[in-house]
Structure 1
Amino acid sequence: MYKILYSIFYAISLLPYRVLYGFSDFLYLILYKVVGYRKKVVRKNLASSFPEKDEKELRRIEKGFYHWLCDYFVETVKLLSVSDETLLRHIEFRNAEELESYFDKGQTCAAILGHYCNWELLSATGLSFGRHREAVCGLIYHPLRNAMFDHLFRDIRHSKGGVCVPKNEILRYLVKYRREKRMWLFGYISDQSPKWNNIHLWLPFLNHDTPVFTGGERIMRKMNDAVFYVDMERPSRGRYICTFRLVTDKPAELPDNEITIRFFKMLEQTIRRDPRFYLWSHDRWKRTHEEFDRRFKVDSGHVTCKADDTTSSAGMK
């Protein structure tokens, strides 16, 4: 079954970009006009994130988001067969030489990013390296529930030399690479909504009191990575600019959670610059601080249910 699925998507990927974008326009009509995919969630997120914007502006952003979401799909599928030369005409990597300067000194790197623009294209970052083409470029990800599509997306990310590592296995991989004396750049998508038992920090983000992950920062500190924020832009359809902006090259010297705090401030600036390209269909504010305080307590850094709340594992989700 997977071979059949892969063959279908590979065949689609062979189509020229102009044909794929034509298909994306058709998909937009189905997804937005007919199905209304997660439209209630998108509208709720946009209205609460930008209370200063009027209805007309919010609808403009909403339509732009759905157009981009369909483009994201066809651009990602295209990775299965696109040549390196063609791909580099669609994405420009800026400040990659700064990453390599840390490799020269023997320091590994981490890239912290959000679900903005097409993050799948970052699997091709290694194509921009000159002196360190052997460096490991990887993405830490949360496996999809559907096994076949999880396999497909791993193959897509591997197609441009990227290494795809499940989040629960990343430390094992990093220890292995360090033992082998290999340089690495691993990307941490850090704007997901954590489960209740993983909430250790709340931050202001897009007009919300937002629960955030801190696990990525702890790994960066442990590995002493030079940490970069991935600032992505989409100046025109089919063209992306990815700029690596240094957050710190001394992570252990910063106060706890400072890297995470800086990341969310930078990500909000990026989103406000052009909100259309953020993943608004994700219900990332479904967990509130009020409910957390009512149902849970923090004991020695561990989140546990209060006595009057369920003690089942379902209560922690």
Structure 2
Amino acid sequence: MQFLAYVLVYPFLWLISMLPFRALYAFSDGLFILIYQIFGYRKKTVKENLNLVFPEKSKEEINQITKTFYHHLCDMVVESIKSMTISEAEMKKRMTFSNIELIQELEVKNKSVVLMCGHYGSWEWIFIFQKYINYKGYGIYKRLANKYFDRLVKRIRARYNTSLITTKEAIPTLIQAKRDGELTISGFASDQSPKAQKAFHWANFMGIKVPVHTGAEMLAKKLDMAVVFFSVKRLKRGHYETTFQTITTDPKAYKDYEITDLFLKLVEEQIHEAPEYYLWTHKRWKHRDKVPEKFQ
């Protein structure tokens, strides 16, 4: 069944990826009508999240943020499909970097990097930054249920010297890379919700206490890696600018979870600046009523 689903869907995805950008975004507009106006995909979750973290905003403001968010979500969907066939030159034109020299300077200093981001703006085309550096890139991800689509996603990322590895694979892979003297840059999207019972740390995120992922900080300390945050700003439709910001080059100098808390504050700043570009479909605050007593 997995192979049959792949065989049936892949040609459709490939055809979409071959569309010129004007037609691609016309397709995105049609997708918006389907998932927002007709099916209302997770609309209830989106509005619950927005009302929870922005109690001061009016109904009209929440509705406008919701609508703009869904337009952006549809654009990200078609842009991820476009990654199948987009040229390197085209991606470089559409995903630019305001200070790539920050990463290049860490490379000169022989420092491996933990690269942290939130589910904000666009993270689909960030992998093109590998064309400006010599680091071996790793993206920490959750394996797809369909092994054929999982291989497809890995193949797309491999175009830019990036390998996708699961959280379980991350520790042994990066330890071995350090032993081999290989400089690595490893991407973590660490703002989503872990299982409450497995969380080592709870923190305030958008004013609400929630469990948070701490794996990026743990790895940085274990392997003495610099920690860098990247933010993505939408310049116009289909065009983004990424900015890097060093959190620390000496993670062991920080108390446990301080780096994670600093990362969350940076994500919050992005959300407050333009909330419509955050991934509101995720149930990020679902564990807010389950805070263990020791974290209250």
Common topology (TM > 0.5): yes
Q: Distance in 2 between matches of 1:152 and 1:42?
A: 29
User: In structure 1, which of residues 23, 43, 48 is the aligned counterpart of residue 27 of structure 2?
Assistant: 23
Quick one: which of 124, 127, 130 aligns to 1:126?
130
Map of 2:120 onto structure 1: 116
Structure 2 stretches of 5 or more lacking a match?
none
Report the Cα offset of residue 4 of structure 1.
5.0
Distance in 2 (CA, whole Å) between partners of 1:177 and 1:268 is: 33
CA distance in 2, matches of 1:159, 1:67: 28
Q: Counterpart in 2 of 1:63?
A: 67
- CA–CA separation in structure 1 for the residues paired with 2:156 and 2:235: 24
Aligned to 1:101: 105
Runs of 4 or more, structure 1, over 4 Å off, are none
Q: 1:6 aligns with which of 7, 10, 21?
A: 10
**What do the CA deviations read for 1:49-101 (whole angstroms, capped 9, x no partner)?**
11111111111100011000100011111111111111111111222212121
In 1, Cα distance between equivalents of 2:36 and 2:148: 26
Q: Distance in 2 between matches of 1:39 and 1:110?
A: 33
CA contact (8 A) 2:28 2:75 kept: yes
Conserved 8 A contact 2:230-2:243: yes
Alignment of 1:129-208 (within 5 A): 129=133, 132=134, 135-208=135-208
Contact 1:42-1:281 within 8 A present in 2 as well: yes
1:264 maps to 264
1:5 to partner: Cα distance:
3.6
Return the alpha-carbon distance in structure 2 between the equivalents of residues 106 and 81 of structure 1.
Answer: 33
Give the equivalent residue in structure 2 for 1:90. Answer: 94
Normalised TM-score (structure 1):
0.87
Could you say which residue in structure 2 is the equivalent of 1:231? 231
Query: How far apart are the structure 2 equivalents of 1:62 and 1:207?
Result: 20
Distance of 1:3 and 1:136 partners within structure 2: 32
Letter in 1 for 2:159: S
Measured in 1, the distance between the counterparts of 2:150 and 2:279 equals: 19
Match of 2:292, SS? helix
- The two structures have a TM-score, normalised by structure 2, of 0.93
Paired residue total: 291
Superposition RMSD in Å: 1.7
Shift of 1:3: 4.9
